[in-house]
Amino acid sequence: MIQHRKGGGLYEMNSVSSCSDTDGEDVLILDDEVVWYADFNKRKGVDSLPAFADHPSFEGKYEEAVANQQVCRQNLKVARTAMKDFPKEHVKPFVRLHWTKPPVDHHPAILACSIYDFYPKYIKVTWLRNGQRVTSNTTTTEELPDADWFYQIHSYLEYTPR
């Protein structure tokens, strides 16, 4: 986003370039109004300002838009290559449950549930005691990203052994 000041007033000028394998877009937007766009079918730029408005020069803008499309499509190829191993479906987690013995009798012990290698990011961890949900003395981390597109989360329950 680029902001310009002219004559004491403030206006906002945005340029948007986007692409797919078969389509592309390149537009200039002034204060939420399209003032110019590239018509790739007709191979020309279109000044869409009303007749009464001052018309700036858009010389060279269409050629710039064509170059932007080439860069965009190259970036699209790179992104697809980088994302080829990205998991597309739900991946079931690996769960590890372990406990920590209290250092002194009659002190809380900790049950730890570590959940690894799941996708997508969102998962719910619930502790149950005798079939009932436990909400006190529990702590759960946020979902933590791994370097391989998967996630892990850790949840802890304090309890007093009997």
What one-character-per-residue DSSP string does 26-48 give? EEEEETTEEEEEEETTTTEEEE-
Of 27, 51, 82, which marks where a domain is finished? 82
pLDDT value for 2: 41
pLDDT in tens, 107-134: 788 999 999 999 888 899 999 999 999 9
The reply to whether 133 falls in a domain is yes
The reply to whether 151 falls in a domain is yes
Per DSSP, the three-state class of 128 is strand
In a shared domain, residues 53 and 32: yes
For CA atoms 38, 43, 44, 49, the dihedral sign is negative
The reply to whether 87 falls in a domain is no
Whether the predicted pLDDT of 8 surpasses 60: no
CATH number at residue 146: 2.60.40.10
In a shared domain, residues 108 and 140: yes
How are the residues of the chain apportioned to helix, strand and coil, as percentages rounded to the nearest 5?
15, 45, 40
* pTM of the predicted protein model: 0.47
20: amino acid identity, one letter = S
Distance of CA 41 to the CA centre of its chain: 32
Tell me the sheet residues that pair with 37.
Answer: 27, 46
pLDDT value for 3: 43
Of 82, 108, 126, which marks where a domain is finished? 82
pLDDT in tens, 27-70: 888 887 888 899 988 999 999 888 888 888 889 999 999 999 99
Whether the predicted pLDDT of 6 surpasses 50: no
